[in-house]
Amino acid sequence: MSSAIVATVICRRVCSPISGPMFSRMPRLIFLCFVVCVATPSAAITRISISADDVSNPNISAKRVSVSWRLLEPAGDLSIKIGELVNNGKRLTDTELTCTRLTVLASGIVCKQGALKESGELIPLTFNVANSETFSVALRPKNESWQVNSSRASGHWNASIDIKEGAITRFAPLIPSTLPKLTKGSISGRIELTTDPQENAKIQGRL
């Protein structure tokens, strides 16, 4: 990370703002907010805000990142905005994830009604974050279905993507510019990715 992340917790009582360098990965910081919510009386916290000017590693960088989480009963809302996202040379601007029905449970965080705005497209989604190492996301673009599940245990990371009638062009950002471009068609099937503690990776696909 090339700059500090600032987190602010707005409370009715009990809490005080938190600021300064936190974690090297945004997901862990978001999970910290979940821990704070579970450990603090629900009447105490009304909003959690996180902002970072620049979050980066050798493969991906994000600029102008902001997270706003408003806690309401029975469900709150969440907004994550990224001004610029660069991944392996591919650049996206003004990406936003929103959830208008976000519920915090002892077992994790559940979004029952959300959307992803990317390249001008608004994609409905739901997600479930059980802990900092386990999550699932379901995206439902028009006439498509993408289900992503990820978990990590004892140094092993397992992820799967189940696709139904997915637009093949969504893989285009992953294809090197030296190879032919994907411009048309759909794909269905399952992709599985596993890594071990030595970071050896294995990919399997049934398409």
pLDDT tens digits along 67-122: 888 877 767 888 999 998 887 667 888 899 999 988 877 778 899 999 999 878 89
DSSP codes, 33-71: HHHHHHHS-TTTEEEEEEEEEEEE-SSEEEEEEEEEEE-
For the question of whether the overall pTM of this predicted structure is more than 0.85, the answer is: no
Question: Is 90 exceeded by the pLDDT of residue 165?
Answer: yes
Give the whole-angstrom CA distance, residue 25 versus residue 111. 21
pLDDT at res. 141: 92
pLDDT tens digits along 43-75: 556 778 888 888 877 777 889 989 888 877 767
